[in-house]
Amino acid sequence: MAARIEGATPATARWDVSSVLSVLPPLIGDTLTNRILKQLPPGYALLFGRADLGAKDD
C-alpha cells in the first residue's frame, strides 16, 4: 500500500490500512472476520485489531 499512497512510508501505510480494517470486525461479526483472516497470511490479524489469526474461533 505504501507504494500506492502518495508520500506514505511502510509504517504510515500500515497505520492507515489498520485504521480502516480495525472498524470492520464489530460491523461484520466474528464469523466473517475469522473467515477473512483464515485466508490471509500470518500477521494480517493485527490490521484487524486482533492479536493473532486464531484469537477467536466460532
Q: What is the pTM of this model?
A: 0.69
Round to whole Å and give the CA distance between 56 and 9. 31
Short-list 50, 58, 54, 57, CA closest to 23: 50
Average predicted confidence (pLDDT) for the chain: 86
pLDDT in tens, 1-21: 888 888 889 999 989 999 999
What DSSP character marks residue 45?
A: G
**Is the Cβ–Cβ distance between 30 and 23 less than 8 Å?**
no
What DSSP character marks residue 55?
A: S
Residue with cell 490479524: 45
